[in-house]
Structure 1
């Protein structure tokens, strides 16, 4: 029978868990608010310099929409950009990624950094994703092009007004045999008029999802809208970006050297090893930078943490665990599946099941997360701390891995409280991983785009 002290600790951890569940959405909203302010400050700085957020550099195929050429041409990466070589008719299109609708009425200057010995080129736009395509022949690629001064035509060849907005923007080309197009970059800019100096004040009291919905409404009215009045950030020196990674990687090396000398560490060693294993992934996903492309230093920290966790498992520095174990009690973690179905039935929408490839990706990602969270982190924490504290910290780390998706953070926190508690009693990973994967697929199919904005995390949640 648990002692009085243990029961008091369990009650205290339960109270902290309830408080944490309510605080997680506040953290998510704060992170999203900060991201909106920083992103808007960068946008205003771009406008002031004569550029815009709609700017692209082309080095890899994935820098284009769908990562390919639409039409008769082959694509490969070159030293200075993407190289397009004609095949067949030599006609094709290259899509510029648009994270949001562009205002072509004010961003009416198109710059294309490209070179080709010959060929014909055109700008292709679609004002909305449902609207018909319009096309305008370009006089060339060497000079900036005023989009509002081009002759735009529809699919029938009839002249139409210049598009005011673009939800899709492509560069069309017809290349002669033997010629190649080297595409290095492109951008939209303002041909005239003062840039915005301050942004719309951001309302208080909204959730992370509410803030993004408000932002999208503002941008539907004005695609150039910015928010808040934060000053533009100054350029960060490379040493400052790499300093956390250097310190972290040094700690990992130090920890690995200690593991070679002694595998059965103290409670402090277990706490340190758990922190080192999870710190890298947390830095990448919940590091509050929220850049569209993660910095190389953050990726290095993520990889370092995973390698360290793998090393801990390889040398058996974590408590023993197994994949299957006894299935007599497996119904408890699998309860997450009917719970997810019940939530979807009450608050979800008509199922839109993800493609098989994406579903398999969810399954693989779920197995990986639960291995890291339970087999490594929870196992080490439970050896160093009372079990209720280990469960709470494991669930908190799992929730933070889903920053800043507020509602998803809450769902993951509650689910991991139950999964971690069950795992520490049974040391079996497969039932939890299966429950996690199935619940994720159900939420993606029945709740994403509705009550749940998406299953995305970090910068992807902001798009």
Structure 2
């Protein structure tokens, strides 16, 4: 190899490393910006609810999965009934229904429970609450159920609470569990549509309850700084400047343990009461239908120009990126999100249907299996340095993820890479936008985005050597399952993406 060629190769490597480093920093800042915006948006919605005397915690009960465990605890049957849950007592014995809690409840300051319900026969309502380090407290009689009563308000502070050992309980405070204990005659029915927690306490001015957390604060410093906020029902915590997405959420979770109603925002932010924007479902569905029709047109009438790879990239990625990067994938996927994501995936398969055999094409050399698997020892080293003992994974989950990784890499390396090669002046640089796209499909999980970017950059380079998806898919699945088993909950907060990352 000549000196000039070695110099060019060294320069290319330095260029790749420099661009990769800049991309990793950019992905981290992107994740932090999205997380900060999400926290501020939640705080503004929370403030708007309080200022308009709406429940700070509200449960809209429509389907069984809106309850803890999707069922009643006891001999009762839960079904859906229009805009309410239909809960029928089978034998007249008491039964309980649990209200899902995302983190915790402040029953000390939000002590009025409001229920929208209707009972087919007279009965009684009791309540159960429990904190993280306290026994369950029970109020056997918190209200009376009557057929003509549709709204029931209960002051939790005025109830006679007893512990499971029949001793007295303290006044309700920070709770991780809240259940309704219902007793109705056999075959009687309770229609339960919503529950919410209200407060009768005046809220202090935000300017008087601000707590700024310094960037260099230790865990002890945080406890000392926030100690003065113990008596405030809704303090305003501003997170450290420059914190990444994972650090923001770790601090948020720690603060919520003691202040479930706290407003937690990025550094320097001042929330303003702003309700959530209404969901414009008809407009969203119209755009989605137009998107699907455009994809069908592109499959039936491919464009015969230089725009073709651009249009095919846009068609394939628009739906998945909208669903994930715009935070539309929450705890439960919506029909609109599934349609948009599925349309992009189906379009990619349709335009690459003649190249489907590349899915199972074997590499020409056995050495080509080893290059992609070089990421496995790196993953193991990360687990040793920053992880925990490996957690067992179900075999069905392992097999399902292997198939999903295989499909992902086929799309990245067959569909996307080839079109980026057609677009770019230097086809060798196509691995960069492919890796960046793969990372963005894991928004806003900052560390996971960086790992996916670096991993896909290497795997795409390996693919250029062998043009075989199988070794890359195996390496991808192995690394991802190792991260899930030994690194998730540590260096990597979770493997969740989109809005699921914030829970």
- Give 1:120's aligned residue: 124
Quickly say closer, same or farther: Cα 1:365–1:122, change in 2 above 3 A: farther
Indicate the SS of the match to 1:200: strand
- Give 1:144's aligned residue: 153
- Contact 2:131–2:173 (Cα < 8 Å) also in 1: yes
Give the alignment partner of residue 395 of structure 1, picking from 391, 416, 435: 435
Offset, 1:190: 0.8
What are the ranges of 5 or more consecutive residues in structure 2 without an aligned counterpart? 146-150, 208-235
Offset, 1:436: 1.8
CA distance in 1, matches of 2:117, 2:67: 14
1:238-317 matches, within 5 Å, as 239=280, 246-247=286-287, 249-262=289-302, 265-288=304-327, 297-314=336-353, 316=354
Give the alignment partner of residue 343 of structure 1, picking from 351, 360, 382: 382
TM-score, length-scaled by structure 2: 0.82
Quickly say closer, same or farther: Cα 1:421–1:384, change in 2 above 3 A: same
Offset, 1:236: 3.8
- Contact 2:64–2:71 (Cα < 8 Å) also in 1: yes
CA distance in 2, matches of 1:53, 1:437: 41
- Give 1:439's aligned residue: 479
CA distance in 1, matches of 2:415, 2:289: 19
1:360-371 matches, within 5 Å, as 360=399, 362-371=401-410
Offset, 1:225: 1.0
Offset, 1:297: 4.7
1:13-412 matches, within 5 Å, as 13-88=16-91, 90-116=93-119, 117-128=121-132, 130-137=133-140, 138-140=142-144, 142-194=151-203, 197=206, 199-227=236-264, 228-233=269-274, 236=277, 239=280, 246-247=286-287, 249-262=289-302, 265-288=304-327, 297-314=336-353, 316=354, 321-326=358-363, 328=366, 329-356=368-395, 358-360=397-399, 362-385=401-424, 386-412=426-452
Q: For residues 387-446 of structure 1, give each alpha carbon's deviation from its aligned partner in whole angstroms, at most 9, with x where no partner exists.
A: 333211111111111112111111110000111222244333232222222212211221
TM-score, length-scaled by structure 1: 0.89
Q: For residues 295-323 of structure 1, give each alpha carbon's deviation from its aligned partner in whole angstroms, at most 9, with x where no partner exists.
A: 66544432321232232233x3x686232
Q: Which moved more, 1:151-160 or 1:404-413?
A: 151-160
Quickly say closer, same or farther: Cα 1:279–1:258, change in 2 above 3 A: closer
Offset, 1:43: 0.8
CA distance in 2, matches of 1:430, 1:374: 11
CA distance in 1, matches of 2:178, 2:320: 35
Quickly say closer, same or farther: Cα 1:335–1:118, change in 2 above 3 A: farther
Quickly say closer, same or farther: Cα 1:118–1:438, change in 2 above 3 A: farther
- Contact 2:123–2:144 (Cα < 8 Å) also in 1: no
Offset, 1:85: 2.0
CA distance in 1, matches of 2:174, 2:338: 35
Quickly say closer, same or farther: Cα 1:225–1:252, change in 2 above 3 A: same
- Contact 2:98–2:180 (Cα < 8 Å) also in 1: yes
CA distance in 2, matches of 1:146, 1:195: 22
Quickly say closer, same or farther: Cα 1:193–1:354, change in 2 above 3 A: farther
Aligned-residue CA RMSD (Å): 3.0
- Contact 1:344–1:443 (Cα < 8 Å) also in 2: yes
Quickly say closer, same or farther: Cα 1:258–1:400, change in 2 above 3 A: closer
CA distance in 2, matches of 1:214, 1:296: 33
Q: For residues 93-129 of structure 1, give each alpha carbon's deviation from its aligned partner in whole angstroms, at most 9, with x where no partner exists.
A: 211111111110001011111222233322111111x
- Contact 2:117–2:152 (Cα < 8 Å) also in 1: no
CA distance in 1, matches of 2:317, 2:105: 39
Indicate the SS of the match to 2:143: coil
CA distance in 1, matches of 2:403, 2:417: 20
Q: How many residues align?
A: 458
Q: Which moved more, 1:175-184 or 1:226-235?
A: 226-235
What are the ranges of 5 or more consecutive residues in structure 1 without an aligned counterpart? none
CA distance in 1, matches of 2:466, 2:278: 49
Quickly say closer, same or farther: Cα 1:358–1:39, change in 2 above 3 A: farther
